[in-house]
């Protein structure tokens, strides 16, 4: 749910910001045109003000993105947010002036543009200030929380724990601390958070519990031990924060796929490493595409849904939909929705068929599965059974493209390097489905998913979607 909330808020931010741009321009236009008490009121009819507004909207999109306006509010102060607003509005104003000059629109009222910038600043201050306090209240009620694990129990660890615990509106939930050595055992920090054991238990803890972020707050002389832990944590795709006392050159062994950046974490500068895509603007566009296409397809295919539901109910006993818990982002479970293609209570018969499993790894698959109904074979062959997952995309559980969601019992059997595929939202289609569909072994499947994560781009998503359409039309589903 984490990135779902973050992406949803970023999308809402963008839409609301553009709304304020339009409202600010319209307000400035009519104020300058009709407000008789304003010196020099009235406007020339020569400029094309629709063009001016369009330019302002386009410039605003890039200005807001470039100034970090869509960064999560979780670790920002209101002052930082307002500073970004001022930078963004300045970018909108000067960017619009430059664009209009290049378009030879030289007669646009400077007073109108000044009013536009003033109204936009006011609207954004009110909007973002209100949202800031609303989100803090929402997170203080323990909604949209992030699970944070602290490594170390020294003075720096205690400082970061105190800061987070005092900031109830941040939404961070400290799971506890893992100790580095015997000196940590008697730390005062354990009066405030749980002692979860030694740092040696980190691999077990990460695979058995939901951890969204880790902060390393150990002393510098412990860096040799921590290097190994960072490698393991990166395999799982968990975001890492490192207090910058560590020597940067000692952790340059990080995989090339790691995104390394200096970020502020509750007023503390940290070195943040991530193995998942961090291009927030592109991820935002990906999310918008997901929601837009899922809405359009659900509307267009609603007659097909009704027809399939009717056929399922007429040809076999049981519900029309098959709902099953799958693992999504960072292992969080969600109810995956498909059209039922098997007999009623097929899951209860799975144990009796284990000896016939033809797939390697922790997955279960039989080419001629006796549980599949005649209609189910057709739905699978045409991939029509997957259509209800558009609802999962609409609800934010899934994306159109991404690693396919696995069963919780399969995820428990993953090797550490395989768990990194959980660091990106699961998809309706994926790269391995257009590179052999189901005719690949388990390890190749895992490696293709990780290649997708490492090479992700909107262009790659577009190629996979087009190839998926081709595969579906050729009836290669299983």
Q: Read off the pLDDT of each residue in 196-214 and give the average, rounded to a whole number.
A: 85
Q: Assess contact for 428 and 400: CB atoms under 8 A.
A: yes
Least confident of 62-76, 256-270, 362-376, 433-447: 256-270
The two tokens of residue 472 are 């579906």
pLDDT tens-place string over residues 64-78: 988 888 887 777 888
Domains of the chain: which residue ranges?
A: 2-140, 146-274, 280-473
pLDDT tens-place string over residues 133-167: 988 888 888 787 889 999 888 777 888 888 888 88
Residue 236's pLDDT band (cuts 50, 70, 90) = confident
Instruction: Write down the pLDDT at residue 256.
Output: 46
Residue 80's pLDDT band (cuts 50, 70, 90) = confident
Q: What mean pLDDT is reported for the chain?
A: 82
Instruction: Write down the pLDDT at residue 387.
Output: 95
Q: Assess contact for 442 and 432: CB atoms under 8 A.
A: no
Instruction: Write down the pLDDT at residue 45.
Output: 59
Instruction: Write down the pLDDT at residue 101.
Output: 84
Residue 438 has pLDDT above 80, yes or no: no
Separation of alpha carbons 59 and 92, rounded Å: 6
The two tokens of residue 460 are 């790659």
Instruction: Write down the pLDDT at residue 260.
Output: 65
Q: Tell me yes or no: is domain 146-274 CATH 3.40.50.720.
A: yes
Q: Residue 460's closest CA among 429, 418, 414?
A: 429
pLDDT tens-place string over residues 29-60: 888 877 645 555 556 555 788 899 999 999 99
């Amino acid at each position: 749910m984490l990135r779902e909330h973050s992406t949803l808020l970023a999308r809402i931010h963008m839409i609301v910001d553009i709304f304020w741009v339009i409202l600010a321009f319209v307000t400035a236009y009519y104020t300058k045109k009709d407000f008789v008490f304003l010196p020099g009121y009235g406007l020339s009819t020569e400029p094309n003000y629709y063009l001016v507004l369009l330019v302002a909207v386009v410039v605003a999109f890039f200005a807001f993105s470039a100034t970090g306006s869509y960064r999560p509010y979780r670790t920002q102060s209101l002052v930082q947010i307002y500073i970004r607003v001022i930078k963004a509005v300045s970018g909108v104003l000067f960017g619009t002036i430059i664009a209009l000059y290049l378009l030879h629109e030289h007669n646009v009222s400077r007073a109108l543009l000044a009013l536009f910038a003033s109204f936009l600043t006011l609207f954004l201050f009110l909007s973002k200030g209100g949202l800031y306090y609303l989100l803090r209240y929402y997170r203080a009620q323990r909604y949209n929380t992030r699970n944070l694990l602290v490594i170390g129990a020294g003075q720096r660890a205690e400082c970061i724990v105190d800061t987070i615990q005092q900031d109830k509106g941040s939404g961070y939930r400290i799971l506890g601390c893992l100790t580095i050595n015997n000196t940590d055992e008697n730390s005062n920090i354990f009066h405030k958070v749980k002692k979860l054991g030694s740092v040696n238990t980190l691999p077990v803890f990460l695979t058995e519990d939901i951890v969204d972020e880790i902060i390393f707050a150990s002393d510098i002389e412990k860096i040799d031990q921590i290097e190994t832990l960072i490698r393991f944590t990166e395999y799982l795709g968990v975001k890492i924060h490192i207090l910058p006392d560590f020597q940067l050159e000692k952790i340059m062994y990080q995989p090339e796929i790691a995104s390394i950046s200096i970020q502020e974490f509750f007023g503390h500068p940290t070195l943040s490493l991530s193995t998942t895509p961090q291009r927030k603007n592109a991820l935002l566009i990906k999310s918008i595409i997901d929601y837009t296409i899922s809405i359009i397809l659900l509307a267009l295919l609603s007659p097909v849904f009704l027809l399939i539901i009717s056929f399922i109910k007429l040809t076999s006993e049981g519900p029309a939909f098959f709902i099953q818990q799958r693992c999504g982002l960072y292992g969080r479970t969600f109810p995956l929705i498909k059209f039922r293609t098997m007999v009623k209570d097929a899951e209860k018969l799975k144990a009796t068929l284990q000896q016939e499993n033809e797939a390697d790894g922790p997955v279960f698959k039989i080419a001629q599965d006796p549980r599949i109904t005649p209609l189910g074979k057709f739905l699978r062959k045409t991939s029509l059974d997957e259509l209800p997952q558009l609802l999962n995309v609409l609800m934010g559980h899934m994306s159109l493209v991404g690693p396919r969601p696995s069963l919780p019992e399969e995820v428990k059997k993953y090797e550490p390097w395989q768990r990194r595929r959980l660091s990106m939202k699961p998809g309706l289609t994926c790269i391995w489905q257009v590179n052999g569909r189901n005719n690949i072994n388990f390890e190749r499947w895992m490696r293709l998913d990780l290649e997708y994560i490492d090479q992700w781009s909107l262009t790659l998503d577009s190629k996979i979607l087009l190839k998926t359409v081709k595969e579906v039309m050729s009836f290669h589903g299983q």
